[in-house]
Amino acid sequence: MESTVGERYQVSLADGKTASLDAEHPPKGANSPDGRYEIFEHPQGLRLFDHQSQQEQVIPLEPACPDAEVCYLSGERRIVWRVDSSGFYTTNTRNANFDERAETNLYFVQVQPLVIVKELAVIRANPWTFSFSPDRRFLAFLNQPDVDNASPKTYNWVTLSLMDLQTLQVRRYSQGWVLRMAGWSPESRRFLLTSSPFGGPNPNVKKLAVGDLCRPPEELIVPTKQTIMETLWLDAQHILMWTAPEEGIPDRYLSGMYLYHLSGSSEPVKIDDLVQDYFQPYGLRHEFVILK
Per-residue model confidence as pLDDT tens digits over 137-161: 999 999 988 777 777 777 889 999 9
Distance CA 273, CA 242 (A): 10
What sign for the dihedral angle of Cα 221, 261, 213, 192? positive
CA distances from residue 262 to 41, 195, 219 in whole angstroms, order as listed: 42, 19, 11
Distance CA 266, CA 284 (A): 26
Per DSSP, 21 falls in state P
What sign for the dihedral angle of Cα 128, 129, 130, 134? positive
The number of C-alpha atoms within 13 Å of 136 and in the hemisphere containing its C-beta is: 14
Name the residue ranges covered by the structural domains of the chain.
221-292
pTM tops 0.85, yes or no = no
How confident is the prediction along the chain (292 residues), in pLDDT tens digits per residue?
Answer: 444 444 556 677 777 777 665 455 677 668 999 999 999 988 899 999 999 999 999 999 988 887 766 665 556 788 999 999 999 999 998 887 888 888 899 999 999 889 999 999 999 999 989 999 999 999 999 998 877 777 777 788 999 999 999 999 999 999 999 999 999 999 999 999 999 999 877 888 999 999 999 999 999 999 998 899 889 999 999 999 988 888 766 555 567 889 999 988 788 988 876 655 555 554 444 444 444 4
Distance CA 227, CA 247 (A): 9
